[in-house]
Amino acid sequence: MNGENMTATRVLIVDDVEQVRRDLSAVLNLTGELEIVGEAVNGLEAIHLTESLKPDVVLMDLEMPIMNGYESARQIKSRYPACRVIALTVHDYPSARAEAQASGVDAFLVKGVRVEKIVQTVLKKE
């Protein structure tokens, strides 16, 4: 982390599509308020990286191989209740929102939302 902003919010990006992770990481790093501490390709890796990297926020896709975001969120929230989990998904329908909420997801965003909205949500300024 750079010395200029010691209060940056630590973010773990979880998505099975490399381009999505790369784009999110590049854009969110530009804000100066967020520090991307890692990237995971599935929910199981997200749990392991949350344990080792201690992010403040996990920005997570919901539909992924090996372990989906719902189960991953459930486990992360049970082990690390202070860690916020934000769903970022293309699946914008009531059952996905309900399952995400039941899994302990703190916020639900739909892919394609403006970057400013993602940043505001991550920083709890929504």
| Residue 52 vs residues 26, 36, 55, 81, 118: alpha-carbon distances, Å | 22, 14, 9, 15, 24
**45 with 20: CB under 8 angstroms?**
no
3-class DSSP assignment, residue 63: coil
Which has the higher per-residue pLDDT, 4 or 57? 57
Residue range 31-38: average pLDDT? 93
DSSP letter, residue 112: T
CATH code of residue 77: 3.40.50.2300
For residue 110, the surrounding DSSP H or E stretch is: strand 107-110
So what's the pLDDT on residue 1? 39
Domain around 112: 9-122
| Confidence category of residue 2, pLDDT binned at 50, 70, 90 | very low
User: Would you tell me how many other CB atoms lie within 10 Å of the CB of residue 57?
Assistant: 22
Tens digits of per-residue pLDDT, 39-67? 999 999 999 999 999 999 999 999 999 99
Q: What's residue 6's pLDDT? A: 60
Decide if 3 is inside a domain. no
Q: What mean pLDDT is reported for the chain?
A: 92
Question: What pLDDT does 3 receive?
Answer: 43
Q: What pLDDT digit, counting tens, does each position of 58-98 carry? A: 999 999 999 999 999 999 999 999 999 999 999 889 999 99
Question: Alpha-carbon torsion 2, 55, 81, 103, what sign?
Answer: positive
As for how many domains the chain has, the answer is 1
pLDDT score at 56: 97
Residue pointed to by tokens 């999110």 = 24
Cα–Cα distances (Å) from 56 to 8, 92, 98, in that order, read: 9, 25, 23
Provide the percentage of residues in the chain whose pLDDT is more than 70.
94
Per residue, the 3-state secondary structure of 60-84, as one string, reads: ECCCCCCCCHHHHHHHHHHHCCCCE
